């Protein structure tokens, strides 16, 4: 959103500034007042000025001297100046004004329509300058993000790719069925890790290009939780995830996207939590209009890391040392929950462990979700 455009009115007669303010005031334009050259310089140093309307005849520092000082400072030398004067027309005086850096020279009494038109030109130029600056920042951010995509993906894909290549080499050289099976499992696991990284990048790309698709329908979240937990359980082994459920767990959501959120949270809890303590998933549907899901594991996340958890590409200083992904999982989970008009929060301490809590409205309809997509710049045709 463009900022308010500021113009500077410089005159030692307050009544003249009041008249100019009334003439030029309109929404989106702010008139700053200065009653001397010194006050004008202070305003110029503190604000981004689109145009300065300067009275020539002022005590202590006249308009020409002010203009020369403005042209001598890198911050103010490009501010356009329109001189206003009540003296008789004088070619030498006018020439001095242009020589001092004026873009125009108006004699009082001037036609208010002419002055307003001239000022409007510089207001429009400043507005276009602001728009170009915003577009440049957006493009620069996109370039930085794309560079980060490439750098992080290239770095994090090396490990699973190396595992695949090493396992393939083992398969070439051995005939022991057990070693062949172990190598095949490593290849499968590494391939799944690579596929997950690529899927995460595609999700972020869809968010940025307004192609994210949500299809909310009436679903029961309990079977979804049970299915996700089942993917992490190994037959014959001690339970690593405990599911607790209460109340009504039916609502209007995109089942696949919420399954993606739950899979990420449970996977993170198992990977980073204390392996000797099971992860607890609690689904609470006792409230009439909202559902709460908590994923709890033993262990504490440092306070310095918690501030970065839901940001894409968490830095090495805050990411776990044994992280196996791009640092996009929690960011995507946070965005998907937000698009369901819900919240994803985290709390962590040494006593209670780490708790991720999802709070979802049970009946966020398609129109509301479409508005959320539009507000976040991610509107897609799937809703």
> Which tens digit of pLDDT belongs to each residue from 306-339?
878 887 765 434 444 444 555 677 888 888 898 8
CATH number at residue 260: 3.30.565.10
How many other β-carbons are positioned within 10 Å of the β-carbon of residue 363?
Answer: 14
pLDDT for residue 250: 93
Question: What one-character DSSP code corresponds to residue 311?
Answer: S
Cβ atoms 219, 253 nearer than 8 A: yes
Picking from 323, 66, 70, 366, the residue whose alpha carbon sits closest to that of residue 196 is: 323
How crowded is the C-beta side of 94, counted as CA atoms within 13 Å?
Answer: 8
Residues 287, 362: one domain? yes
Residues 351, 260: one domain? yes
CA distance 332 to 212: 11
Which of 176, 208, 240 corresponds to the end of one domain?
A: 208
> For residue 217, what are the β-bridge partners?
253
Give, for 339, the enclosing helix (H) or strand (E). helix 329-339
pLDDT for residue 102: 75
- Backbone φ and ψ of 343, nearest 5°: -135, 145
Residues 248, 366: one domain? yes
Residue 271 to residues 44, 100, 156, 264: CA-CA distances in angstroms? 56, 69, 17, 10
Cβ atoms 82, 51 nearer than 8 A: yes
pLDDT for residue 159: 64
C-beta contacts of 93-96 below 8 A and 24+ residues apart: 93/56, 96/64
Residue 312 located in a structural domain: yes
Which of 146, 178, 208 corresponds to the end of one domain?
A: 208
Residues 256, 362: one domain? yes
What is the domain count for the chain? 3
CA distance 261 to 279: 16
pLDDT for residue 315: 42
**What is the helix, strand, coil percentage profile of the chain, to 5?**
50, 20, 30
377: left (phi over 0), alpha (psi -120 to 50) or beta: left
Residue 263 located in a structural domain: yes
- Beta strands 250-253; 279-285: pairing state: unpaired
How many other β-carbons are positioned within 10 Å of the β-carbon of residue 186?
Answer: 17
- Beta strands 49-55; 81-85: pairing state: parallel
pLDDT along the chain (383 residues), means of 10: 81 88 86 89 89 86 85 85 76 66 78 87 87 84 69 63 74 73 74 71 66 81 89 72 93 87 88 87 93 93 82 52 59 86 91 93 67 50 38
pLDDT for residue 339: 84
Residues 203, 221: one domain? no
Residue 141 located in a structural domain: no
Q: Which two tokens stand for residue 232?
A: 């992490």
Residues 36, 179: one domain? no
Residue 291 located in a structural domain: yes
Name residues whose C-beta falls within 8 Å of residue 275's C-beta, 6 or more positions apart in sequence. none
**Domain that includes residue 177, residue range:** 157-208
Residue 381 to residues 217, 327, 366, 376: CA-CA distances in angstroms? 16, 28, 11, 15
Q: Which two tokens stand for residue 186?
A: 């490593």
Cβ atoms 342, 359 nearer than 8 A: yes
Residues 224, 268: one domain? yes
CA distance 203 to 197: 10
CATH number at residue 29: 3.40.50.2300
- 182: three-class secondary structure by DSSP: helix
């Amino acid at each position: 959103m463009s900022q308010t455009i500021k113009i500077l009115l410089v005159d030692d007669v307050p009544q003249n500034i009041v008249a100019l303010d009334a003439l030029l005031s309109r929404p989106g334009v702010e008139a700053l007042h200065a009653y001397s050259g010194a006050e004008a310089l202070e305003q110029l140093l503190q604000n981004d000025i689109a145009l300065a309307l300067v009275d020539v005849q002022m005590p202590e520092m006249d308009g020409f001297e002010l203009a020369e000082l403005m042209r001598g400072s890198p911050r103010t030398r490009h501010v356009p100046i329109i001189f206003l004067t009540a003296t008789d027309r004088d070619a030498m005086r006018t020439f001095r004004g242009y020589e001092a850096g004026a873009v125009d020279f108006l004699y009082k009494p001037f036609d208010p329509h002419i002055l307003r038109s001239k000022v409007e030109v510089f207001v429009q130029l400043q507005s276009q300058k602001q728009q170009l600056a915003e577009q440049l920042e957006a493009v620069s951010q996109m370039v930085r993000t794309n560079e980060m995509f490439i750098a992080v993906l290239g770095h994090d894909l090396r490990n699973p790719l190396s595992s695949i290549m090493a396992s393939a080499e083992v398969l070439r050289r051995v005939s022991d069925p057990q070693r062949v099976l172990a190598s095949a499992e490593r290849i499968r696991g590494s391939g799944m890790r690579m596929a997950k990284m690529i899927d995460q990048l595609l999700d972020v790309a869809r968010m940025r290009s307004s192609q994210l698709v949500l299809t909310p329908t009436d679903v029961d979240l309990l079977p979804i939780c049970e299915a996700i937990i089942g993917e992490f359980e190994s037959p014959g082994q001690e339970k690593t995830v405990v599911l607790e459920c209460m109340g009504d767990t039916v609502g209007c959501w995109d089942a696949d996207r919420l399954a993606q959120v739950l899979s990420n949270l449970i996977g993170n809890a198992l990977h980073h939590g204390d392996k000797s303590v099971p992860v607890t998933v609690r689904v609470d549907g006792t409230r009439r209009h909202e559902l709460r899901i908590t994923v709890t594991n033993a262990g504490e996340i440092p306070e310095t890391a918690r501030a970065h958890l839901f940001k894409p590409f968490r830095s090495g200083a805050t990411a776990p040392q044994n992280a196996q992904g791009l640092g996009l999982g929690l960011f995507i989970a946070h965005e998907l929950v937000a698009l369901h008009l819900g919240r994803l929060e985290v709390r962590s301490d040494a006593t209670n462990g780490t708790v991720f809590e999802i709070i979802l409205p049970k009946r966020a309809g398609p129109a509301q979700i479409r508005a959320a997509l539009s507000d976040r710049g991610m509107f897609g045709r799937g809703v």
